[in-house]
Structure 1
Amino acid sequence: MSTVPAVCHAQLPQGNGAPSEEEPMADVMPPNMLQERPQTPAGLLSNREKDRLIERGFLGLYRWYTARSQETRNWNPDRSFDWRSLNKNLPPEVITVLEGFFAVEQYAPDFTSNLVHLVRRSHGRSHFQLRWGSEEEKHADAWENAVLFSGQRSPEWVEEYKDRLKSQTWELPFPDAIHNLVYTVFQERATQLNYLNMMKIAQGKSDKPHLKGVSDPVLARVAQTIAVDEAAHYNFFLEGVRMYLYYYPEQTLSAIKNVITQFSMPAAQLVPNWEHFFETVYRAGIYGPRDFQRDVMQVAFRNLGIESRKALEEGIRKTREVPDFDGGNFKTTAIWDTFDYGAVEGDVRRLHVKIQDYEKEIGFDAIDPTEFIENPEVPRTGSSAADD
């Protein structure tokens, strides 16, 4: 987790009906996908089947992710870095940034518990959130060590600051699972960028006059190590959003639009002296509004097959003008021109190949294999664009 400009979170409409109790995924699906569902026409996937396919994809992805994280990113916040060698003469601006990173990561227990509760009925998502929380906890400890070993904050100060931070509780930015899933895609990418830019400063590569000459190999390695974790988190959540985008394109695109309209990073309302912290981050060239537009939103859009924010909003507007099924048409008919559906289908296929390869290593393929099922709603012209 990390830091960007604060924007207030407006509460999303909750709908008029109650979620259907017969739906197995009621706790993890967006409210507007669980109520007032039309009868599924013959030849199309039911919402229940879509939910099942997404859940199986998450379970396979979680298993693959856990094995890979244990093999390649099993570092320790105390033993993996030479803390005694940390530069004791870092400029005040760098200490302010480290303090802010440390502060935001202190809410890892809140981030984890709230998200686990939201998706507790999904094996893949809830267990991944536990794994994710254990990795975020390491980030919190590593940034705390950086603050302590800088020599510019006493242990007593750190303890008092932690007590102050934990006197408040972080809450979910959105009320439902699909919006929070989309939110984490943008948040993890933004966090990765924050830490990569801190790494560059510690490597002596800053182009800011007040930070030229800063050099700390230990801090550079800490920032790089945590940034690699954040990249892995980004990719997990990205794969999840792609599955939703494949099977529920209209609802997912609407969630993406809502999230980017209201986006802010976690704990912006909780961390003391946030304005000073953000101003320092901005002046250091670590993060700012332009970075969000260019290096977060556009990168995520590209990974999701979306051309631009304007194209997204225009596509959603056109889709809402199409009659629904009761009117003799499918409401999703106009959504296919909003994003590159073929590219998303190709990505979801490749995810399933990765899961299937992992299942063959373990033996799951002979017992309970994960299968890719095409979404028959997408218009087909000859061969699939995703057959690559």
Structure 2
Amino acid sequence: MADLPILSCPELERDIWRMYRDFFDKAERRRRWRIADDIPWNECNRNLDPAVADVIETFCAVELYLPDYTGKILPVVRPSKGRTWFYANWGYEESKHSLALNDWLVKSGHRSDEYMTDMESKVFEREWNLPTESHVGMLCYAMSQELATFINYRNLKNRIAALGGDPALEKLLGFISIDERAHYSFFRDATKIFLTHDREGTIAQLRPILNQFQMPAVHDLLDESTKRIERIRNLEVFNEEIFYREVYFPIITDLGITKAEMRGKPIKKSYKTDPNPSTSA
């Protein structure tokens, strides 16, 4: 699975840089929110189903691996200004998600400051590693991960009303969901650009990412991972069926990739016949 070398296509890099500027400008105009001012913290529900707090703790713990996420991908994509600048912005937004989730757990009374400090210490004892060394593979991974993360946050937000309601958490999850959807859109559009330059190579990188997909950290880096996954499934926030219905198939549809291509079958090519071959150079 050889990668298309970074900077081998100036046109590709120009397109990604333009995408990033558009992404950034829209974020500045439409998506920026402030933890202290834009969430009704006085409306936290201290009696909300404890299972919700368990899931929020898991999401918060996953976000705490941000130093690994950014620290390990930036050297891989450093030659690409568009992707480097995007990951810097992405890191800022993800750090805000982590802070806000932590704040809700404490302000709602579901967790203490001491508990969160202990949880953070356990997280930092372990290290997340890139699932692939391919820069194109990581682009495909990030795209898939961001859509799955959006689905997780959206579904949990939609479940809260039936579990007792929490205006502060619902507002917070709404902000985060919008951010995650915007991240997915950037990665998807960047993947489309790579598809135009190296379709077979890009699909070859995407195939194992989708076929072996796992949420980062939850499965192998967090304490009581089995219990955490079960909580997420029991609340119908995310499971295998949801993954295929709302992540796998939407991605290949958005990218215009066929099921046959995802199975690794050769791509059929059509060639136009030169009506006057004798004049060809």
TM-score (norm 2): 0.91
Q: 2:143 aligns to what?
A: 185
Q: 2:101 aligns to what?
A: 143
Offset at 1:233?
A: 0.1
Rg bigger for which structure? 1
Contact 2:153 2:173 in 1 (8 A): yes
Aligned counterpart for 1:60 among listed residues 18, 27, 30:
18
Contact 1:202 1:217 in 2 (8 A): no
Aligned counterpart for 1:152 among listed residues 110, 120, 137:
110
Rounded to whole Å, the distance in 2 between the matches of 1:63 and 1:183 is: 22
Q: What is the identity, as a one-letter code, of the residue corresponding to 1:298? A: F
Q: 1:100 aligns to what?
A: 58
Q: 1:279 is paired with a residue of what secondary structure?
A: helix
Q: What is the identity, as a one-letter code, of the residue corresponding to 2:111? A: R
Q: 2:187 aligns to what?
A: 237
Offset at 1:48?
A: 6.8
Q: What is the identity, as a one-letter code, of the residue corresponding to 2:201? A: Q
Residues 112, 290 of structure 1: alpha-carbon distance in 2 compared, 3 angstrom cutoff: same
Q: What does 1:157-236 align with in structure 2 at a 5 Å threshold?
A: 157-204=115-162, 211=163, 214-236=164-186
After the TM superposition, which parts of structure 1 deviate over 3 Å for at least 4 consecutive aligned residues? 31-34, 378-381
Q: 1:318 aligns to what?
A: 266
Q: 1:267 is paired with a residue of what secondary structure?
A: coil
Aligned counterpart for 1:294 among listed residues 229, 238, 245:
245
Structure 1 alignment gaps of length 5 or more: 1-12, 14-30, 35-46, 205-210, 320-333, 337-377, 382-388
Residues 164, 243 of structure 1: alpha-carbon distance in 2 compared, 3 angstrom cutoff: same
Rounded to whole Å, the distance in 1 between the matches of 2:37 and 2:129 is: 32
> Which moved further from structure 2: 71-80 or 116-125?
71-80
**C-alpha distance after superposition, 1:230-287 (max 9, x if no partner):** 0000000001100001110110111111211221111121111111011010010100
**C-alpha distance after superposition, 1:28-61 (max 9, x if no partner):** xxx4445xxxxxxxxxxxx976x21111111111
Q: What is the identity, as a one-letter code, of the residue corresponding to 2:60? A: F
Offset at 1:379?
A: 5.0
Rounded to whole Å, the distance in 2 between the matches of 1:237 and 1:155 is: 35
Q: 1:158 is paired with a residue of what secondary structure?
A: helix
Aligned positions, number: 272
Rounded to whole Å, the distance in 2 between the matches of 1:274 and 1:157 is: 18
Q: What is the identity, as a one-letter code, of the residue corresponding to 1:179? A: G
Q: 1:365 aligns to what?
A: none
Rounded to whole Å, the distance in 1 between the matches of 2:83 and 2:272 is: 31
For the pair 1:284 / 2:232, whether they are aligned, the reply is no
Percent of paired sites with the same residue: 30
For the pair 1:272 / 2:186, whether they are aligned, the reply is no
Rounded to whole Å, the distance in 2 between the matches of 1:48 and 1:115 is: 16
Higher relative CO (Cα under 8 Å, sequence separation at least 6) belongs to 2
Residues 379, 241 of structure 1: alpha-carbon distance in 2 compared, 3 angstrom cutoff: farther
Q: What is the identity, as a one-letter code, of the residue corresponding to 2:241? A: R
> Which moved further from structure 2: 236-245 or 194-203?
194-203
